[in-house]
Chains A and B, each alone.
Chain A
Amino acid sequence: MYQIACPHCGPRAQTEFTYERTTDSVVDPAADAHTAMHALYTRANPMGLDDEVWRHTYGCRAWMVLTRHRVTHEITAVKAIGPEALA
């Protein structure tokens, strides 16, 4: 287990957070069927860094993007997204 630095709450236990999907698999509503299915159903799944959408589900419930290494679990960047990021 490790800590994730929530942009709103500071460092909190990872168990408070849930993983959603990678940023490149967020489906654009305007995309054509092939592009949408490709985003929905395929992943790069690298043995290295990827940009992932996480949520502080058992905390402030805000969404964020983590740049996280999938072998070492090192988090190199946390970026707030959604309406909270603009506040």
Chain B
Amino acid sequence: MKTPYSAFSLLRGAFNGQKHWEPAWRDPEPRSSYDVIIIGGGGHGLAAAYYLAKVHGIRNVAVLEKSWIGGGNVGRNTTLVRSNYRLPQLHNFFEFGLKLWHNLSDDLNYNVMFSPRGAMFLGHNDGDMIKLAERGDAMRCDGIDAELLSPKQIAKIEPLLDLSRSARFPIDGALIQWRAGTARHDAVAWGYARAADALGVDIIQKCEVTGFVRDGNRITGVETTRGRILAARTGICVAGHSGHVAGLAGLRLPIEAQTLQALVTEGVKPMVQSVIMSQSLHCYISQSDKGGIVMGGDPDNWPSYARRGQPTIKEGAIAQAVSMMPALSRLRMLRTWSGVTDMSFDGAPIIGTTPIDGLYLNAGWCYGGFKATPASGWTYAHTLATGKPHELNAPFSLERFMTGATIDETAVGPMPNHR
């Protein structure tokens, strides 16, 4: 058993030069077979492995990661956590996750620095305000907190927003979810990895899946750069590379890979208290615990696996942010990054079974995967353990695109590049 992280063990370490700490997870050689293999050591894959071991008692599990854990989208997002969706399938799923977020640091014995500071969507016209009120009503009907704010109330929370009528996008109000907020992205991957490893899960890094072992219509394992590994059940959980990995098994998915960019400014004193988003624009603003202003916007709306984006997309997001909060114009950009997002064809994720026996899929998170990490891991673990979806991920089946039961929050249709 690993030394638990606590004030007591920190104090104990003060007397022995803090020499009692061990590596947070092992670096095992892959065994020849497992009960379950999860392809992808990101937040969702590690969370699924943790809940498989903790909730379902399945500990003979391997997480295969082609690079290092947490090097993909869990380390490349804007760390927002919220459940303020209009459609019940979505808000019930994300609300289940939000409840897990609120207790996650205790559960994992790892500080994920979850900070429920409130997330608000600004409305800029009557149409926006009607949509926000509808969304808030839909959420409250399912017991999820949502509150409409007047410009006066907004000014008390975010005094630096331009609330004048002469603003480029005048602000008529907002919908706030107080229990939403941000978390420390890397800590989520590391916390799940450490907790899963302690329960016996093998986390195997630098192990790329290059093909599947097939027996008729059943997947019985994977070929990797570290040899063949067999498993009764194999779960794909590779975010932006879902199309590529599913392609190795001969599956075509309702997913197209796109680049999503974000950026952070130099650190400054507290100036953004909550998470600010907009109903009409596509730009989100929050302040990290280090003081940097984190911003993001639209994906580059054409397919790419390159992990490098166009400056014009960043420029658009920054222009929107500055128009809403003019003080941001004085800040210098410190760093930008990009990730490969798996844009699904209705904007909602896919978690469930596939037409191939023994192969399961967790994909299609578009630009909203980070907040889903605990709920995605929980429901995927249920699906991998029982072979059937949990009631929360049952609506997110792969078949829904063929049966017409899509979950299209923004009503865009099958055009991921217009989302």
Contacts from A to B (Cβ < 8 Å): 1, 14-15, 18-21, 34, 37-38, 40-47, 50, 52, 54, 70-73
- A41 and B402 contacting across the interface, CB-CB below 8 Å: yes
Tell me, yes or no, whether B337 is within 8 Å of chain A by CB.
no
Residues of A within 8 A of B305 (CB): 47, 70-71
Tell me, yes or no, whether B227 is within 8 Å of chain A by CB.
no
CB distance from B47 to the nearest CB of A (A): 25
CB distance from B110 to the nearest CB of A (A): 33
Docked Cα-Cα span, A44 to B241, in Å, equals: 12
Question: Which of B252, B302, B304, B306 touches A43 (beta carbons < 8 Å)?
Answer: B252
Question: Which of A14, A20, A38, A41 touches B310 (beta carbons < 8 Å)?
Answer: A14
Docked Cα-Cα span, A7 to B252, in Å, equals: 31
Docked Cα-Cα span, A14 to B304, in Å, equals: 14
With A44-B243, A71-B305: A1-B312 Cβ-Cβ less than 8 Å:
yes
Question: Which of A19, A34, A40 touches B302 (beta carbons < 8 Å)?
Answer: A19
Considering the complex, give the chain A residue whose CB is closest to the CB of B304: A70
Tell me, yes or no, whether B17 is within 8 Å of chain A by CB.
no
Docked Cα-Cα span, A7 to B395, in Å, equals: 45
CB distance from B338 to the nearest CB of A (A): 13
Residues of B within 8 A of A44 (CB): 243, 247, 252
With A37-B401, A70-B303: A45-B257 Cβ-Cβ less than 8 Å:
yes
Residues of B within 8 A of A40 (CB): 414
Docked Cα-Cα span, A66 to B256, in Å, equals: 16
Docked Cα-Cα span, A76 to B253, in Å, equals: 25
Name the prevailing secondary structure of the B interface residues: mixed
Interface membership of chain B positions 236-254, coded 1 if the CB is closer than 8 angstroms to chain A and 0 otherwise = 0000010110010000111
Question: Which of B252, B301, B312 touches A19 (beta carbons < 8 Å)?
Answer: B301
Q: 9 tightest CB-CB pairs across the interface, nearest first?
A: A45-B243, A19-B302, A42-B252, A41-B401, A41-B254, A47-B244, A71-B305, A1-B310, A47-B305
Question: Which of A14, A38, A50 touches B303 (beta carbons < 8 Å)?
Answer: A50
- B414 and A46 contacting across the interface, CB-CB below 8 Å: no
Residues of A within 8 A of B90 (CB): none
CB distance from B350 to the nearest CB of A (A): 11
14 A-B pairs whose Cβ atoms sit less than 8 Å apart in the complex? A1-B312, A18-B302, A19-B301, A21-B417, A38-B252, A41-B414, A42-B252, A42-B253, A44-B243, A44-B252, A45-B247, A45-B257, A70-B304, A73-B306
CB distance from A12 to the nearest CB of B (A): 14
CB distance from A56 to the nearest CB of B (A): 14
Tell me, yes or no, whether B311 is within 8 Å of chain A by CB.
yes
Interface membership of chain B positions 296-330, coded 1 if the CB is closer than 8 angstroms to chain A and 0 otherwise = 00000111111000111000000000000000000
Docked Cα-Cα span, A41 to B397, in Å, equals: 14
Residues of A within 8 A of B114 (CB): none
Tell me, yes or no, whether B101 is within 8 Å of chain A by CB.
no
Residues of A within 8 A of B244 (CB): 45-47
CB distance from B243 to the nearest CB of A (A): 3
Q: Which of B247, B255, B303, B415 has the most CB of A within 10 A?
A: B303
CB distance from A15 to the nearest CB of B (A): 5
Residues of B within 8 A of A14 (CB): 310
- A43 and B310 contacting across the interface, CB-CB below 8 Å: no
CB distance from B181 to the nearest CB of A (A): 33
- B247 and A73 contacting across the interface, CB-CB below 8 Å: no
Q: Which of A42, A46, A52 has the most CB of B within 10 A?
A: A42
Residues of A within 8 A of B304 (CB): 70-71, 73
Residues of B within 8 A of A52 (CB): 302-303
With A19-B301, A71-B305: A46-B310 Cβ-Cβ less than 8 Å:
no
Residues of A within 8 A of B256 (CB): 43, 45
Residues of B within 8 A of A50 (CB): 303
Residues of B within 8 A of A43 (CB): 243, 252-256
Question: Which of B306, B311, B415 touches A72 (beta carbons < 8 Å)?
Answer: B306
Considering the complex, give the chain B residue whose CB is closest to the CB of A37: B402
Residues of A within 8 A of B306 (CB): 70-73
With A19-B302, A37-B402: A45-B310 Cβ-Cβ less than 8 Å:
no
Considering the complex, give the chain A residue whose CB is closest to the CB of B402: A37
Residues of A within 8 A of B417 (CB): 18-21
Considering the complex, give the chain A residue whose CB is closest to the CB of B400: A41
CB distance from B414 to the nearest CB of A (A): 5
Docked Cα-Cα span, A70 to B247, in Å, equals: 15
CB distance from A67 to the nearest CB of B (A): 13
Residues of B within 8 A of A34 (CB): 402
